[in-house]
Each structure stands twice: as structure tokens, then as C-alpha cells.
A = this chain, B = another copy of it.
Amino acid sequence: MTRPYNFSAGPAAMPEAVLQQAAAEMLDWQGSGMGVMEMSHRGKEFMSIAATAEADLRELLAVPAHFRILFMQGGGLAENAIVPMNLSRGGVVDFVVTGSWSQKSAKEARKYAAANVVGSNEADHHTTLPSPAGWRLSSNAQYLHLCSNETIHGVEFHELPDLKALGSDAPLVIDFSSHVASRSVDWSRVGLAFGGAQKNLGPAGVTLVVVREDLLGHALSICPSAFDYKTVADNASMYNTPPTYSIYMAGLTFQWLKAQTEGALTGIAAMEAKNMAKARLLYDFIDGSGFYLNKVAKDCRSRMNIPFFLRDESRNDAFLAGAKAAGLLQLKGHKSVGGMRASIYNAMPLEGVQALVTYMRDFEQTQA
């Protein structure tokens, strides 16, 4: 039996092979006599699971040796506070606001630092991206924060800005929650990257932080020990009991990612090619239609989250009901934007996007 295609923005569909392996190992991981949930995080079994997950992620994303990989808790919203508690030194921090997520990040940072908005697409209703050349960077910023893919508004930085070329030494902080591991990362431009797992990495409950070593050790005195990056790094993400099962599931997902191929490409490069093909298929169909509409500028459209509208919004309920009947789930748009949203993360196969396009074409015809 084929499962329905699940377009949830997150928590989101996971690779079927990963779920199958997890189900098979639920009561006994590799002959240990324990399920993964039942293992002490200090035991050799779980230590090997965590170490393998970290090494696989480092290989997949080509994370350089001078970056630490941390598995934390609290998701992106907690990181909105944890980043400034660790990096701001109570000084000035810059934000580029490009949608709901970066907006929330800037607001939360004001509890700990003076947050300047140095670039924004609000005037365009978050359908464009402000060009880095126009950002009014603070001379004394401790870092610049941006959200490299806005899940709700569907805009993505296809290239990360080069702050050095803009005359700034501030480290770049990226919230890559909703497109992590969908493409490669240019770490030479990044100081810290964080992301909740529940889109592309695994189940909700584990947060990935990749941080340049020189940024550790500057937490404010009011930073909880459990969220002090240096404490977390010094304890290999086991200062407090880590979300062990979520890390295991992320590890299985990393193995699935490593096994991806597309022509001569493997791993993340293969995944990126697949993601580009999936996004192109859906955007091309929408752009060629007089019935559907995507409002995001073509040069910054997200490959992961594709918000779209029926030009006649009175047909929305019928569209969603028909989609569900056709095995296409969770297509309703975010309440702040309306319309529809197709989230097509790594785990969504091309066949799922093809099925969506077929349904959209058929629906349009029945409404003629």
C-alpha cells in the first residue's frame, strides 16, 4: 500500500525506509536487548549512535574541523534566545528581517542585546529578499542574523551573503531550520547555523547547532548552563540527558541522505539536485497556470516551502477536500498568509510532487 503524500511544513514527512528501520529496532537495537529509548546516554551503545550521527552529519554537510556540532533542545524558538545569550555579549546585533521567523528572532534578541534591523522585505510583504549591498550594517555588531529559508513566506537565500566582502567582520548566524541538509552550505561565510530537526533531519525535539569554535565561551552570566554552547560542546552534547531517540532518528536520516544518488552525484549534492527538480516542476506548473498563483519573486523562491493561491479563493475548501481524497495531505497554507502551501522537504519524492501537479491540473479542469 502506498502511503499518502504528506506536505506538512513541520513536523514533516520522514523517509519511509527510516521509519521502517526504527519500527524494526524498537524493542531491540542490534542485539543489545534494549530499544534505543531505553539506553543510558552514557552507555557504549548510545555513545556509538550519537558519535556516528555527528560524524555522518559532518561528512554530509562538509562541516570544517573548527566548527562544533551540538545537539540541543528547544527548537528554533528557543535558539532565538540562546543565540544572543551566547553570542551578543550584551552589545549590538544586526538582523535581516525577511519573514515571520526572522521577525520573531529579532524581537526575542532584544531581551539580551540592542538588535538593529539592517535589511527588510516588509514593504514587499516578504515576497522578495533585500540585496546585501543595501544592508546598513552596524560597525560594532557581534553578529548578523538571517533566516536562510522562511518556512511561512517561502523565500530562500540561494546564496549566503559574504559579510567580509561587505566590509564586516561580524559572524553570520543563519537559522536554517527549514532547509538544512537540502543543499550544501558555504561554511566560509558562516559563524553559526541552527535548526530544529522537524523538517529535514528527524522528529521534533532535537535542535542542531553548528558553531565556529572561536564563538564559544562568551555566554552572558544569565545563560542557563544547559544552553551555554561551551558547556554543551565540552560535554559532547551530554551535559544534560540529550533527546536520545530524536538523535537516533536523525542519525538514520543522515544514513539515508548519504545513500542518495542522482546521476553521478551522491549525498547532499544528489539531494540538492532532486530538490531543485521537484521545486522546478511545481513552480513551472503554477507559473504556467492562470488558475494558481505564487507571489514570491523568482530569484528567491524557496525550494522547500511553496506557498500558492487559487486565484478564486472561494474554491479553497473544495481544493483541500479533493486533495485529501487524492492522498495529498496537509496542504493548507499558514494562517498568516492564507491559501495553500506545499512543503516538499528531502523526504518528499518527486512522485509526490508529480501527484500534486496532476491533482492541481485535474482540479482546475473540474472547476472550468
Contacts from A to B (Cβ < 8 Å): 3-4, 6, 8-14, 16, 19-20, 22-24, 26-28, 33-35, 37-41, 43, 73-78, 80-82, 85, 108, 111-112, 196, 198, 202-206, 221-222, 224-227, 239-246, 249, 327, 329-330
Find out whether the CB atom of B3 lies under 8 angstroms from the CB atom of A78. no
Q: Residues of B contacting A327 with CB < 8 Å?
A: 33
Closest B residue, CB atoms, query A243: B205
Question: How long is the Cα–Cα vector from A249 to B82 in the complex, in angstroms?
Answer: 28
Contact B38 A245 (CB under 8 A): no
- Complex CA distance for A10 and B46, rounded to whole angstroms: 12
State the main secondary structure of chain A at its contact with B.
loop
Min distance, Cβ A325 to any Cβ of chain B, angstroms: 12
A246 vs B206: C-alpha distance when bound (angstroms): 11
Q: How far is the CB of A128 from chain B (nearest CB, A)?
A: 27
A6 with B33, Cβ < 8 A, contacts A75-B240, A244-B205 known = yes
Are B38 and A14 in contact, with the CB atoms below 8 A? yes
Q: Are A81 and B4 in contact (CB under 8 A)?
A: no
- Report which of B16, B35, B78 forms a contact with A224, defined as CB distance below 8 A: B78
Please determine whether A26 and B27 come into contact, CB atoms closer than 8 angstroms: no
Pick from A11, A19, A246 the residue with the most CB of B within 10 Å.
Answer: A11
Nearest-neighbour CB distance to chain B for A278, whole angstroms, equals: 18
A227 vs B223: C-alpha distance in the bound complex, in angstroms?
Answer: 12
Q: List 9 A-B contacts (CB under 8 A).
A: A3-B27, A6-B38, A8-B34, A13-B38, A16-B27, A33-B327, A37-B249, A203-B245, A204-B245
Give complex CA distance A3, B27 in Å.
Answer: 8
Task: Please name 4 further chain A to chain B contacts, defined as beta carbons within 8 Å, in addition to the given A14-B38, A76-B240, A203-B243, sorted by A numbering.
Answer: A20-B27, A37-B249, A81-B227, A205-B242
With most chain B CB atoms within 10 A of its CB, the pick from A85, A202, A329 is A329
- Residues of chain B within 8 A (CB-CB) of A243 are 73, 203-205, 243, 246
A256 vs chain B, min Cβ distance (A): 14
